[in-house]
Structure 1
Amino acid sequence: MACDERVARTHHHDPERRTPMTAADHDWLDLRAPFDDAAREHSLALLDQAVEALAGTAEAEPLIVIDIGAGTGNSARWFDRALRPRLPGRELRWILLDADAASLRVASRSMPDATTATAPITELPAIAAEHLPGTTAAHDSDGSAAEHAPGPPAPARLLINCSAVLDVLAPADVEAVVDTLTRFSGLGLFLLSITEHWPLDPPDRRDALIEHAFSEHQAREGRLGDAGGAVLAAAARRAGARVTTGASPWNLQGPRDREFLTRFLSERTDAVIEEDPELRPIAAAWLADRLEQAGTDLHVAVEHLDVLVDARG
């Protein structure tokens, strides 16, 4: 049976429990995929550190991998390609979690054996519990840490991952992620979270104004915006997890990346004008200058924060 004809196992949860997270345009996800893949080359050291905590379990015991904000599956496909050769013989059971059913239908065509869960991220603890039968929670019902035998932490049975998602989460989503990791002694690897830094070269006196307005736009409707990665890292530390961070920048160079730069800069300008309509003439002039430079020597370093959370206790 052809892959696109197979039906993924699908779970539907309460559609009324919504978060600020919304579906990204599919063509944007496809356009950015090669740039994400290049940036994730910088993430491999954190990935290898995560693998050390996942190895050592009996081959018969599957690893539950939940990709949150899975979208059309670009992130999960990258993680799958990266994990399998590093965990030979370990069965990976994928769960793709997203609130947008249409995106998950696209994802299931390339990952037909994955379970898809159409639900908000606040449902993550319940979804993980469904797929981890017999797992003893790491915390008691009163929230205190459960007692463990002395010695090194046991290998994790749960990995939660994502790419370029934390900026669109709300505080309740972060709470759900950290709660799931601590409850089930899991690993979390969260890549490509935007920060407030995306310096352009050559610099322009208008850059700071544009960057500030864009940052404000990203934090609308309760979203964490460019603080998402730092907020999750801090929450995990408060919960007693070990946290390691890294960087995975996009390095965009004109004229090589002119098509992507045009889309990237145009959409950021649209967001700036939406945030502050009075900036329209300044933003439009800035964009015109930057698009001209994209055909020559413009360089943009879009900084991302990677976060590895080890909640095995």
Structure 2
Amino acid sequence: MTHPAPDRPVAGDWLALRAPADAEAREDTLPLIERLVRHWAQLSPGVGEDDPVVVVDLGAGTGANREWLAAHLPGPQRWILLDHDRDLLEQAVASAREDAADVVPVLAGVEQLGRVLEEHPARRRLVTCSALLDLLSREQVQELARVLARNGVPALFALTVDGEVHLDPPHHLDAPVLGAFEDHQHREELAGTDAVRLADAALREEGMDVEVVPTPWWVNDQPWSQPLLRRFLADRADAAVEHRPDLTAEAHAWLRTRLVDCARHKLRATVGHADVLGLPRVS
């Protein structure tokens, strides 16, 4: 079954704002990568050092996932950058080519993964994505697990939000505004903040070994924190109002107060994310 492209393309400027927070959070991903490399060694002990690892990056965005992950994967790599947004895909390809990376752009949605894997066989392969699973439908998450298991390909799903948001100092409108935002993330059967749990269950049901590690954002007084926080707050207020128009006055008041806290360098945020590693079982 095919699925339409999301009606809200992810903005490139948001991807740029979140990149440094993602990079800090992904230090907790390193043990998963070590486990992945051991899996490859066990699965294909005779693979030469010159054989490239083929990586399919779903929802490649501006290429931040490739930029971070490529430095932590072994040997030569060929990256299949897949995105339904032509402008973002062009940015990702341009960035990769600046790094002299071996890249193949694919303008498509995640439903084309099976075809892409058929077209790019290799003894060491990986399907990865960053901050994508929550934007997929529940059915798409399940189908993704089926395609991975059918092709015997490992997956590393990075930086999926899990719904945990803690703002310090607290505000009495945090709960209703953030709750309305979370409800908005589940509209039209989207996986939203259930995505980590759904991916974990779907991969296990397909017989894969799964490990989940928390990769939260810790947004304090880093040089990049203020613009990220401002955008984070504004996006949540906008989505809360869209989902619950009756909250308009409260959401706007909450945003004004929180932006003042931000400007005064008083606001701290912890935003829950998790990484999911799925490995086919080695017989």
Q: TM-score, normalised by structure 1?
A: 0.82
Contact 2:17–2:227 (CA<8 Å) still a contact in 1? Answer: no
Q: What percent of counterpart residues are identical? A: 37
SS at match of 2:65: helix
Equivalent residue for 1:163? 130
CA distance in 2, matches of 1:72, 1:23: 12
CA distance in 2, matches of 1:255, 1:67: 28
More helix by share: 2
Equivalent residue for 1:3? none
1:179 Cα offset (Å): 2.0
Contact 2:207–2:281 (CA<8 Å) still a contact in 1? Answer: no
- Is residue 240 of structure 2 the alignment partner of residue 272 of structure 1? yes
Equivalent residue for 1:307? 276
CA distance 1:293–1:91, change in 2 (3 Å): same
1:58 Cα offset (Å): 2.5
Equivalent residue for 1:140? none
CA distance in 2, matches of 1:255, 1:236: 36
Equivalent residue for 1:28? 14
- Is residue 206 of structure 2 the alignment partner of residue 239 of structure 1? yes
Contact 1:23–1:103 (CA<8 Å) still a contact in 2? Answer: no
Equivalent residue for 1:249? 216
- Is residue 72 of structure 2 the alignment partner of residue 82 of structure 1? yes
CA distance in 2, matches of 1:291, 1:233: 36
Contact 2:81–2:104 (CA<8 Å) still a contact in 1? Answer: yes
CA distance in 1, matches of 2:119, 2:105: 13
1:259 Cα offset (Å): 1.9
For residues 92-140 of structure 1, give each alpha carbon's deviation from its aligned partner in whole angstroms, at most 9, with x where no partner exists: 111011111121111111213300111110110111011117xxxxxxx
Q: Which moved more, 1:232-241 or 1:124-133?
A: 124-133
SS at match of 2:55: strand
Equivalent residue for 2:95? 110
Equivalent residue for 1:292? 260
Contact 1:249–1:302 (CA<8 Å) still a contact in 2? Answer: yes
Contact 1:122–1:172 (CA<8 Å) still a contact in 2? Answer: no
CA distance in 1, matches of 2:165, 2:96: 33
1:254 Cα offset (Å): 4.9
CA distance 1:50–1:274, change in 2 (3 Å): same
Contact 1:182–1:312 (CA<8 Å) still a contact in 2? Answer: no
CA distance 1:21–1:160, change in 2 (3 Å): farther
For residues 196-251 of structure 1, give each alpha carbon's deviation from its aligned partner in whole angstroms, at most 9, with x where no partner exists: 11111112222111121011111123321111121111100111110000011111
For residues 122-168 of structure 1, give each alpha carbon's deviation from its aligned partner in whole angstroms, at most 9, with x where no partner exists: 110111011117xxxxxxxxxxxxxxxxxxxxxx6220111111110
Equivalent residue for 1:142? none
1:29 Cα offset (Å): 1.0
Of the two, which has the highest radius of gyration?
A: 1
CA distance in 1, matches of 2:247, 2:79: 44
Equivalent residue for 1:101? 86
For residues 283-313 of structure 1, give each alpha carbon's deviation from its aligned partner in whole angstroms, at most 9, with x where no partner exists: 1111111111112321110010110000144
Structure 2: which 5+ runs fail to align?
Answer: none
Superposed structure 1 runs of 4+ greater than 6 Å apart: none
Q: TM-score, normalised by structure 2?
A: 0.90
Structure 1 vs Structure 2 CA RMSD = 1.9
1:173 Cα offset (Å): 2.2
